[in-house]
Amino acid sequence: MDTLDASSWRCPRPLLQAKLWLKGATAGQKLRLCISDTGSRQDIPRYLLRMGHSVIQESDDGRVLTLLITKVP
């Protein structure tokens, strides 16, 4: 499983990095993504779900949201 700690980045960089990961990932590959930016916390899960990928909220301590993303074909 890959991990991307984007908690220090502001939107749109976390979304762009997630898109780059998806482009290079194979179906079934997983990414643990850590984000903190308010825009990213809203936009990234919404985008991934709209694109049909699996998104599970692993944790949210109020500052950092950790998502487990599984790429689908």
Question: Rounded to the nearest 5°, which phi and psi values hold at 7?
Answer: -70, -20
Residue 53 per-residue DSSP state? -
Q: From CA 73, how far away is CA 62, in angstroms rounded?
A: 32
Block residue for tokens 């709209």: 50
Contacts of 70 (CB under 8 A, 6+ apart): 28, 29, 30, 53, 54
List the chain pLDDT tens, one digit each, 73 residues.
999 999 999 999 999 999 999 999 999 999 999 999 999 999 999 999 999 999 999 999 999 999 999 999 8
Establish how many alpha carbons lie within 13 A of residue 66's alpha carbon, considering only the half-sphere containing its beta carbon.
10
What is the model's pTM? 0.94
